[in-house]
Amino acid sequence: DAGVTQSPTHLIKTRGQQVTLRCSPKSGHDTVSWYQQALGQGPQFIFQYYEEEERQRGNFPDRFSGHQFPNYSSELNVNALLLGDSALYLCASSLYGGAVNEQFFGPGTRLTVL
Amino acid sequence: EDQVTQSPEALRLQEGESSSLNCSYTVSGLRGLFWYRQDPGKGPEFLFTLYSAGEEKEKERLKATLTKKESFLHITAPKPEDSATYLCAVQAINQAGTALIFGKGTTLSVSS
């Protein structure tokens, strides 16, 4: 049973560029959440997708956008990259409306903005 | 505002020296409190979910407890392989989705 997968593992971009990160949820899960984790900090919630719609959004600018596909996989897009966007981007999957609400995380994508 | 505070930020233990990590939280309505373990450069690994005050969960050398204001992660006779960052997160009831609000974590180092 495959867990949450993310691609790519590492990415280096320059300021002003755009980036797309990808996530496939754990088998049986239908909800994907994205988090940003800066060095030495806890993960910060970006947004959550269910039924191909953004259900909840954290305190991130509109430069951060996402999408969920019919197979439940998801993309995170970041436009006009800033140096401060350098971080570990984590994807987590869960089952919407389930009795338990555990979110299972992927290995993350390390984004470096130069 | 919902928030989570973890203490201490860092903890150094000798192998076999038991201790506890603290997670204090403020949330309008608690749906659940979660503990994760994170190794350097990797994604968090799920450990426990606690839903109500008085609840306890155990897994190997780890035991998590919950009160109305805080949670403790007790580590009994730790081994070097328990070295990691331990993250606490809460999930609030009054929100459209199921976002997790994380603390900054406690970095545990266990030496032999």
Interface test with A, best of B98, B101, B102 (most A CBs within 10 A): B98
Question: Domain count of chain B?
Answer: 1
User: Is residue B30 a part of any domain in this protein?
Assistant: yes
> What rounded mean pLDDT belongs to chain B?
96
Region A89-113 average pLDDT? 90
Comparison of pLDDT for B99 and B94, the residue scoring more: B99
Query: For position B93, what pLDDT does the model report?
Result: 84
Q: What pLDDT does residue A1 have?
A: 67
Interface contact flag, A33 B98, Cβ < 8 Å: yes
Which CATH number characterizes residue B84's domain?
Answer: 2.60.40.10
In a domain, B52, yes or no: yes
Candidate CATH numbers 2.60.40.10, 2.40.50.140, 2.40.50.100, 1.20.1730.10; the one for domain A15-98: 2.60.40.10
CA distance B81 to chain A (A): 19
User: Which chain A residues are closer than 8 Å to B104 by Cβ?
Assistant: 40-42
Contact B63, B57 (CB under 8 A): yes
Contact flag A105-B43 (C-beta cutoff 8 Å): yes
Quick check: is B65 in a domain?
yes
Report d(CA A75, CA A59) in Å as an integer. Answer: 18
**Measured between CA atoms, how close is A107 to chain B, in angstroms?**
4
Residue B25 domain flag: yes
Write the residue in A42, A96, A107 that is nearest to B105 by C-beta.
Answer: A42
**Count of CB atoms situated within 10 Å of the CB of A28:** 10
- Nearest CB to A43; choose among B32, B91, B102: B102
A66 touching B (Cβ < 8 Å): no
Q: Where are the domains of chain A?
A: 15-98
Angle, alpha carbons A77-B5-B104 (nearest 5°): 40
CA B44 – CA B49 distance, rounded (Å): 14
* Option in A40, A103, A110 nearest B100 (CB): A103
Q: Is residue B105 part of a domain?
A: no
Looking at every residue in chain A, the average pLDDT score rounds to 95
Does B19 map to a domain? yes
Q: Which residue in this structure is represented by tokens 């436009």? A: A79
| Rounded Cα gap, residues A92 and A104, in angstroms | 5
Domain membership of residue B106 (yes or no) is: no
CA distance A52 to A8: 22
Residue B107 lies in a domain: no
Q: What residue numbers bound the domain in which B17 lies?
A: 3-100
Q: Which residues of A touch B46 (CB under 8 A)?
A: 102-105
Q: How confident is the model at residue A97 (pLDDT cuts 50, 70, 90)?
A: confident
Confidence of residue A2 (pLDDT cuts 50, 70, 90): confident
DSSP codes joined into one string, A4-61: -EEE-SEEEE-TT--EEEEEEPPTT--EEEEEEE-TTS--EEEEEEETTEEEEE-S--
B110 has pLDDT over 80 = yes
* A48, A105, A108 member nearest B99 (Cβ): A48
